[in-house]
Amino acid sequence: MIELTEQQRLELTLSDTPRALDTLTGNVYVLVPEDVYQHLKDALTDADPEAMYPLLAEVSPEDWEDRL
């Protein structure tokens, strides 16, 4: 686990969506509190793909981001 410096702690309080940059790889990470992460993880893990079918049926091909 990485421990925050005082400067990093301050940065976390100043942003709604704090991010961390790995200067070696260029990867950017969005930092969220552990309880929020766990809630999101549980929601995604418990997701039932078949429950998405009615929603997908309403999506128009014009709305697709990867359309040609």
Per residue in 8-46, pLDDT tens?
Answer: 999 889 988 899 999 999 999 999 999 999 988 887 787
**Domain contains 10:** no
Domain that holds residue 53: 35-62
**2 near 22, Cβ under 8 Å?**
no
In this predicted structure, the answer to whether residue 66 has a pLDDT above a threshold of 70 is no
What type of residue sits at position 67?
Answer: R
**Domain contains 42:** yes
**Domain contains 41:** yes
Q: How many domains does the chain have?
A: 1
Residue with the bigger pLDDT between 53 and 33: it is: 33
Residue with the bigger pLDDT between 67 and 12: it is: 12
Q: Is the pTM of this model over 0.85?
A: no
Q: Is 11 exposed, middle or buried (0-12, 13-18, 19+ CB in 10 A)?
A: middle
**Domain contains 29:** no
